[in-house]
Structure 1
Amino acid sequence: YLVEHKEVELNIRDRWDSTPLYYACLCGHLEIAQYLLDNGARCEANTFDGERCRYGALNDTIRTLLKNYNVLTARTVKRNTYDEFLRKLYEQGLYSDVTFVVDERIFPLHRCVLAARSSFFHEAFEGRWHGKRNINLTKAKFNVDSFESVVRYLYTNCCEISLDNIDTVKALARSCRLPHLIDLIERKKHEIDQWQASKTASSNIYRLVLEPDEDDDSIRLDFRMLAEQAIPLELRQWIAGSEMPFIDQPHLDTFSDLIFIVDECYYFHVHQAFICTRTEYFSALIKNHFNEMLPNTKQQNDTKSTVMLKHIHKEHFIPLLYYIYSDECEISNDCVDDLLVIADELFLPGLKRLCGNTYSKLLSNETIISILRLARLFQLVKLENQCIRFISDNLEEVLQQDEFKKFVLEDAASVVDRQETDTVPIIDDLRFYLAEFSTVNRSDIDETLEKMKLLDDFLDNIGVNA
């Protein structure tokens, strides 16, 4: 329920820096440990978390589970979709526009990502590396593993570092002007040193696994800036916390490689690495599957492809753009209906959930049934549960609505070969909520019984036996 319906982050830490997986191992809950691992709990071998879980495990069965578990194959795409996108963007190098060579290893990367995350790279791409597509770092003072760690951090806010390589990575991070990465390394190393000092037996930790702090939104803010730069000057918005609007910084649009024309007059300079990797719809569109490509014009850079978007208006495309780049966006009540349809067409379940969050704030006696229908139509489980809770809390008023009566009758008719004693889905959900979440004390039990009777009387009145 917590993981699949409430979407609680299962790698969350308490004040003792302990995760749910650690407690499951400590208490010997094998099935829970297996479930957490299958759904993305982190427990890599030879890391702080991995060794701590192994050391604290109640029995050998759980230690064997941890030892045999392959974290790389068990990460789920369903959850942490944005993190998965960033990881694939780095590892697969799709739509790369610059290649680095370090110790004969080739890194297909993206100028927009590196420049957005590091002022060093931004200045270098506009200066000494301007126009270069292949950059050979043969005389570098760092090794390939250090470069890989820093670049992975720039893409994902996460990385692994060998303990033997810490000083080299810190030096490279200092050159790339990444003070936050240096701080993360030092804090994680201090944690490991303290933990090792408290144990009598030797540990097998030889890697640091760096993850962002729970409140660290730096990568989303950096990529949100990329989205802001993609928007035409006349449409750019202020960013919360900025002293100046980006409208005063038109030169920041340096590394876009695609132009979308919206409403026939607004030119959005976007990046294929984000647009085409986040949704298959735009990837197919760019490949000319829908014959919407336009020839380049003198108004645009000759190296950029131009695409006319005919069915998405600017008021919907702007929040869509913010979501694609940063996994977050503000959705107004006026555009949520159209944006939900667009999110469904573009196969963006995360954007659909954000639309669901907007609808949840609009719940009232007047809107509850229409929003419940939307939640079911677009398979928004969390929103549907919120609707059930609202109806349960306002049962007497909702039962008087003709729309609710119609909804229940439709629900009853939807059950194939329904018998008189069969239940009705909406009634089932209401009874479940009332039984599970409203029986805390005696007064709640009395209230629940009254509401159960209201439901039974309502079903009798409309002629449904459930």
Structure 2
Amino acid sequence: MEKNFQDLCYACRIGDAENVDRITSTGVNLNGVDQFDNSPLFLASLCGHEEVVKLLLKRGAVCDRDRYEGARCIYGALTDAIRDILLQHDISKAVDINQPFVMHISSLIKDNPMDTHDICIGSTKDEKEGWLQLHRFILSARSPKLRANLIDNWKYDYEVTLSTELGMETLEFITKFIYLVPVLHEITAKDYESLIKFSREWEVPILEEFLDKSKHVVDPSEKSTLMADYQYKFTESARHQLLCFVNDNIIRKSIDIGSPANVSQCISDIENHVAFPDILLLVENSEKERRIYPCHLAILSRASYFKMMFTLPMAEAAAYNDLKNSTRHQFFSKLPVISLPACEFEVAEIILRYLYYDNSEIPWEHAIDVLLVADYLQEDRMKSMAAVVMTQSKDFLKKYSIFDILYVAWETRLERLEQFAAKIIAFNLASYSKNPELKRAIEMSSQRISVREETDTIELVDDIRFYLLEKYAFEPEDVELVSEEKDIELLKASEILDYQEENAIIDKLLDELTLQA
């Protein structure tokens, strides 16, 4: 059993929703089972973690009550609330899109308010009003046949008429598949032959394979299982294709530049660039080296910062819209240039891999920088993923101090990291109390209080006191009751004296800072 799946099962048992979200982004099979035949959904429902159950269903976990795994989840649910969620879950959604990047790519041909298409494709049998507005880079990544046409036959074409008698209905189906829109439930018996022919023509073997198998399946439960299995395969196939596209055509084709004079001129032949870019991303590292990545607004707009930049009435949006009305040659010679905040190139590439195909592999060495850039881009999900790496890496605290984590948590407004820092300090209070940085942190926390009440509170101090209770497995009421006990031996045995000594350390620090909390 692969480690990612083991980690997913553990996160489902303990109810760690953020870690479940991170692990599902690695492409792990949500509908697999462990050595005890337990699926992640079963573990989450059995252990009563409602938010994790909802997240797994949203990401594509199957709960078909007519199948053993689905029935087991329903009857094993710890609470009625979870049982109701599973019973009300539409089984057709079991083959729905199960990754945020899939939802984003699907939105590009469904309800996308941004006009980012750069090619229109239609059939000779239909009027042009129904033609499909598509993206060269997605077609190129998903189909070798389409990529060859885009590089050669359709190189200068904005409108492409397919010489086929298959019609727009079939074309729309294959296009939805390419854009990861769930369409398997739409197939009827009369569609199989035309779809198989078109899949073969566009070199989409995985769809052809599914169609060949599905047309011989009659039993609804068996067909549901087949659809769920292949929807997972489709998603992972698309992820791998986008991974290859990003590595081969964006990262390896990035351009190092020496002068900031006019960065777009540094691409000598952008019109023939294999990535089919419509925007350039400029990054400057700590050594003041500069690099351009050929990118796509359709993908960068996943980040709220870039989406606002090109949807609100800003100069970048106006310039981009003007270019959309230019000739193809003019467009490529004047591509807009946007920037990330200064960061290492490795950090920029982690961000790009996440935006294009939800890659969540963040080396711990870059986790803080990824967190800061993600915060700048207003990409909360990636912030959470970076935080998970920081809290779970065994090596992280060998390079960074717990105060580095605390300060970046405050800067990026990540409560998970604040709590993590407070817990580490509380569990090692005797050691950290000798570090002058703890005083500084408490003082900074006191200055973060926006509204003072009758009894002042300092968030960091409150959190440390809370985790001291956890450290000694006490409840507040227990402390009050035991504190009245006069038997010293009993107090020692109950560890109440140790607890009181550690609280006294906090009180001493506050006295030295002339603070109350």
Q: When the two structures are superposed, what TM-score results if normalisation uses the length of structure 1?
A: 0.68
CA deviations over 1:357-394 (Å, ceiling 9, x no partner): 56554325961113112113313344344434533554
For 2:506, the equivalent position in structure 1 comes to 459
* 1:3 Cα deviation from its structure 2 partner: 4.8
User: Which runs of no fewer than 5 residues in structure 1 stay unpaired?
Assistant: 197-203, 236-249, 438-444
Identity %: 17
Where do 1:23-422 residues align within 5 Å?
A: 38-39=54-55, 41=57, 49=64, 51-52=66-67, 57-58=74-75, 69=89, 80-92=99-111, 94-101=115-122, 104=126, 105-137=130-162, 139-141=164-166, 144=169, 147-156=171-180, 159-161=183-185, 162=187, 164=189, 165=191, 168-182=194-208, 196=222, 208-209=227-228, 210-212=230-232, 217-225=239-247, 226-228=249-251, 231-232=254-255, 253=274, 255-260=276-281, 266-281=291-306, 284=309, 289-290=314-315, 301-304=329-332, 305-309=334-338, 312-313=341-342, 315-316=344-345, 317-328=348-359, 340-356=371-387, 359-360=390-391, 361-364=395-398, 367-408=401-442, 410-411=444-445, 414=449, 416-417=452-453, 419=455
1 CA distance for matches of 2:209 and 2:416? 37
Q: Which runs of 5+ in 2 are unaligned?
A: 1-13, 25-29, 259-270, 475-491
Contact 1:90–1:109 (Cα < 8 Å) also in 2:
yes
* CA distances 1:80-102 after superposition (whole Å, capped 9, x unpaired): 54333222224235411122335
Q: Distance in 2 between matches of 1:187 and 1:436?
A: 57
In terms of fraction of residues, the more helix-rich structure is: 2
Give the distance between the partners of 2:277 and 2:90, measured in 1 at CA: 38
SS at match of 1:135: strand
The 3 A distance-change label for structure 1 pair 257 and 408 is closer
One-letter amino acid of the structure 1 residue matched with residue 276 of structure 2: F
1:160 offset after TM fit, Å? 2.5
Q: TM-score, normalised by structure 2?
A: 0.62
Counterpart Cα distance in 2 of 1:326 and 1:389: 34
Aligned Cα RMSD in Å? 5.3
Mean Cα displacement is larger for which, 48-57 or 389-398? 48-57
Shift of 1:349: 2.0
Q: 1:287 to 1:24 in 2, by over 3 A?
A: closer
Q: 1:51 to 1:173 in 2, by over 3 A?
A: farther
Determine the C-alpha separation between the residues in 2 that align with 1:366 and 1:63: 44
Name 1:434's counterpart in structure 2: 471
User: Amino acid of the residue matched to residue 2 of structure 1?
Assistant: G
Q: Displacement, 1:12? A: 4.9
Check the 8 A contact 1:412/1:425 in 2, yes or no.
Answer: no
Alpha-carbon distance in structure 2 between the residues aligned to 1:330 and 1:66: 31
Take 1:149 and 1:447, find their aligned partners in 2: how far apart are those partners?
A: 68
Amino acid at match of 2:154: W
- Which amino acid counterpart does residue 120 of structure 2 have in structure 1? T
Q: Using the alignment, how far apart are the partners of 2:39 and 2:397 within structure 1?
A: 35
Aligned residues: 428
- Residues 272-329 of structure 1 deviation map (CA, whole Å, 9 limit, x = unaligned): 2222354443652587714696999xxx942134334467447354544344323347
